[in-house]
Amino acid sequence: MGAPKATLDWHGTPLAHRVAGILARMCAPVIVVGAAGQSLPLPPGVETAVDTAPERGPLEGIAAGVRVLAGRAPAAFLAGTDLPLLHPAFVTALLAALPGYDAAVVAVGGHDQLLAAAYETGLLERAPALLAEGRPRVAALLDGARVRRLGIRDVAEPESVRNANTPQEYRELHGRPQPAVIVSAAGGPPIHVEASTLGAAAAHVGWRSGTRPIATVNGLLVPADPATPLVAGDIVELRAGPG
């Protein structure tokens, strides 16, 4: 890519912030793995892990993340930082497909989308042993595992797997319309807008800069942070906060 993917702009917020914020809707804890000394722009409450050998590839990062997860969850959704179209419905579908299997993955053109997939944490815990054996590819996790493979038509929001590996792919994805959402403010009429963040949606209804509203997305309270990510189909409501 020529630059750290985590800090690439996505309509006003870094990719790492966007992906972590989307995952935080249905996953806890959310753990983001970065290189030693790397400053990661993340939402409040997101935990971090340090990948001390990033040159060894994603499996090394998985090993670092699993150490921080430390058995706190029986299953995990593994996401690359370059998934700007990731949608909660896609994550939910993969996690719902997981019971009875070690991994639930979407196959596109015969290729497993391993960095947008659900795993039993016990399977991810094999990462250090695979690295010690000189097998650094993420696909090695699936050797001998019970894998549920889904087609792209079997999941909601299948474009969630679209990633940005090259500057051209990044420009193409960035040039797409922002998510179509519905926003209303202070009891006003709902309007249909395109907005990737809470701040962008608020601007469409004339919410004054510097005002910190109470915000809900799909009826659930969310941080009153302009960088809070939105996805297609979200219903945003804003009202005045105290003070």
Model pLDDT for residues 109-125, shown as the tens digit of each residue: 999 999 999 999 999 99
Query: What is the distance between the alpha carbons of residues 180 and 193, in angstroms, rounded to a whole number?
Result: 6
pTM of the entire predicted model: 0.93
Q: pLDDT tens digit string along 224-241?
A: 889 999 999 999 999 887
CB atoms within 10 A of CB 239: 12
Domain range summary for the chain, segments of one domain joined by +: 5-173, 180-239
User: What's the CATH number of domain 5-173, 3.40.50.10490, 3.90.550.10, 3.40.47.10, 3.20.20.70?
Assistant: 3.90.550.10
> What value does the mean pLDDT of the chain take?
92
Query: What is the distance between the alpha carbons of residues 112 and 116, in angstroms, rounded to a whole number?
Result: 9
- Tell which CATH architecture fits domain 180-239: Roll (3.10)
For residues 36-58, give the mean pLDDT: 87
Phi and psi, residue 193, nearest 5°: -140, 170
For residues 121-133, give the mean pLDDT: 95
